[in-house]
Amino acid sequence: MENKGNILMQKYELGRLLGQGNFAKVYYGRNLKTGQSVAIKLINKEKVLKVGLINQTKREISVMGLVKHPNVVQLYEVMATKTKIYFIMEYVKGGELFHKVAKGRLKEDISRKYFQQLINAVDFCHSRGVYHRDLKPENLLLDENGILKVSDFGLSALAESKRQDGLLHTTCGTPAYVAPEVINRRGYDGGKADIWSCGVILFILLAGYLPFHDSNIVQMYRKISKAEYRFPNWFPPDVRRLLSRILDPNPCTRISIAKIMESSWFRKGLDSRQVSTEVGDKGMSPVDNNVVSDTSASINPTETKLELTKPINLNAFDIISLSTGFDLSGLFVTNDQKEEVQFTSKNTSSAIISKFIDIAMYLKFKVKENQGFMRLEGCNEGRSGILSVDVEIFEISSSFHLVEVKKSGGDTTEYQKMLKRNLRPALKEIVWAWQGEQQHH
């Protein structure tokens, strides 16, 4: 039994039902080892397969692994059985922001505090190439300290989803919050569409009702397309100016997040601690492991890395049928999203070191070297400090080495760009096989 005595895979205690949708139920849970409260999202695998939502489920896992931010609900790990998929997530005790707004409009300073946190979270998501596409008060949760957390990335899109015209083309979201360009089905910038939704949310916080509302959905879409709305008389002039620039029906002239953050109304009472980037290691780590393990046996990660046979790409949902339960976290993270990658090489250690020194010189990075360990360190301060990359070389034999490359400091997106544009192409001639990728020899 997968939940014998309400215990999930000997790791989590399943508690009361917190909420449910068409394909998923969310339960309160507790980590048996640490006692930490968690939310457990249980997805019916058969139902999502039947309606073709497996790719959407994979994307949600991948996206939540990318956006580690204090104002985004964290995904700790993903587990599965033959019939169920489980998201183990941060438990946010305070419930939906929607329930607060449903009681009436909020005070200006409270609305501003929530809006500041929302913009910080959305800005971070966009910096990671993630567009939420369904921002609304129901998807904004509050913890016991009143900290806002963005949730439900089921309709999110990655930058890689764009077509050749650089735009997204899937019409999605909740009608009242959707940007005009999404309704018009002409392709849209996911970032600009999210900004529009943030503007609708700010209006609701301050007014207590929607800016665009009509019992006839066609009429409502017409109002959205032309940005037909009226400010209540209690809206201050600086709020009106800001909202007029956010709820601009033309995405080309719509205000950017950077400009929102510079506005006088937004900056009022802004706590510098609110403007934060990635989440550090607190309690459980967000999705980041690359080893699959079940409840009855574990795979030695060292043995997995050093195996000299051709690496194999595993399909997570095919694997589920082979055992009673797996930790699937690492299977949904693409190589360009990982902060740590490994490759094997048939070159000598001195040749490998020499190659990394050449790359560092080309990138104008400093090099620190010590017995098979190297650190490549940039000179310019980035979004999250100076970018630094650690390289460790393990000797299997004199002519066969395992090389581990991982980010040790700086911004994840900068590291991913460097890995994709510089490191991987430059290392091509010395790499025998990248771990976790199919090779054809």
Domain of residue 5: give its range: 1-91+289-334
Please tell me whether residues 53 and 178 are part of one structural domain: no
Per residue of the chain (441 residues), give pLDDT as tens. 344 458 888 899 999 998 877 778 889 999 999 999 999 989 888 887 777 777 777 777 777 777 889 999 998 988 888 888 898 999 998 888 888 888 889 999 999 999 999 999 999 988 888 888 889 988 899 998 989 999 877 655 545 455 555 555 455 557 888 888 888 777 778 889 999 999 999 999 999 999 998 778 888 888 999 999 999 999 999 999 999 999 999 999 999 999 999 999 999 988 665 555 566 544 444 443 332 233 322 222 222 222 222 223 334 443 343 333 444 544 444 555 567 788 888 888 888 888 998 999 999 999 887 766 789 998 887 777 889 999 988 776 667 788 889 888 888 888 888 888 999 999 988 888 887 664 443
Q: Is residue 146 part of a domain?
A: yes
Q: Is 41 annotated as a binding residue?
A: yes
Inter-residue contact 272 to 22 (CB < 8 Å) = no
Both tokens assigned to 348: 């000598």
CATH code, 230:
1.10.510.10
CATH code, 412:
3.30.310.80
Threshold 0.75, pTM exceeds? no
Return the pLDDT at 397: 66
Return the pLDDT at 287: 45
Return the pLDDT at 283: 43
Q: Is residue 441 part of a domain?
A: no
Q: Which of 109, 123, 134, 327 is catalytic?
A: 134
Both tokens assigned to 28: 């309160």
Please tell me whether residues 241 and 316 are part of one structural domain: no
Inter-residue contact 402 to 396 (CB < 8 Å) = yes
Total domain count, the chain: 3
Please tell me whether residues 113 and 85 are part of one structural domain: no
Please tell me whether residues 174 and 152 are part of one structural domain: yes
Cα–Cα distance, 263 to 309 (Å, whole number): 57
Cα–Cα distance, 183 to 175 (Å, whole number): 8
Q: Is residue 280 part of a domain?
A: no
Q: Is residue 129 part of a domain?
A: yes
With left for phi above 0 and alpha for psi between -120 and 50, is residue 163 left, alpha or beta?
beta
Inter-residue contact 84 to 44 (CB < 8 Å) = yes
Cα–Cα distance, 382 to 409 (Å, whole number): 10
Please tell me whether residues 225 and 237 are part of one structural domain: yes
Return the pLDDT at 13: 93
Domain boundary among 319, 334, 349: 334
Please tell me whether residues 293 and 361 are part of one structural domain: no
Please tell me whether residues 115 and 262 are part of one structural domain: yes
Return the pLDDT at 149: 94
Return the pLDDT at 315: 40
Return the pLDDT at 164: 52
Return the pLDDT at 314: 33
Q: Strand 140-142 to strand 148-150: parallel, antiparallel, or no bridges (unpaired)?
A: antiparallel
Q: Is residue 281 part of a domain?
A: no
Please tell me whether residues 323 and 398 are part of one structural domain: no
Please tell me whether residues 66 and 86 are part of one structural domain: yes
Distance, first Cα to last Cα, the chain: 43
- Burial classification of residue 258, based on how many CB atoms lie within 10 Å of its CB (0-12 exposed, 13-18 middle, 19 or more buried): exposed
- Strands of the sheet containing 37-44, edge to edge, are 7-8, 12-20, 24-31, 37-44, 84-90, 75-80, 326-327
Place of tokens 């899109």: 157
Q: Is residue 440 part of a domain?
A: no
Cα–Cα distance, 95 to 73 (Å, whole number): 12
Q: Is residue 279 part of a domain?
A: no
Q: What is the dihedral of CA 60, 64, 70, 74, to 10 degrees?
A: 90
Residue 358, CA distances (Å) to 255, 352, 355, 373, 423 in order: 43, 10, 5, 16, 11
Q: Strand 24-31 to strand 75-80: parallel, antiparallel, or no bridges (unpaired)?
A: unpaired
Q: Is 134 a catalytic residue?
A: yes
Cα–Cα distance, 441 to 431 (Å, whole number): 12
Please tell me whether residues 24 and 168 are part of one structural domain: no
CATH code, 21:
3.30.200.20
Q: Is residue 284 part of a domain?
A: no
Please tell me whether residues 83 and 62 are part of one structural domain: yes
Q: Strand 326-327 to strand 400-409: parallel, antiparallel, or no bridges (unpaired)?
A: unpaired
Please tell me whether residues 86 and 193 are part of one structural domain: no
Return the pLDDT at 312: 30
Return the pLDDT at 286: 43
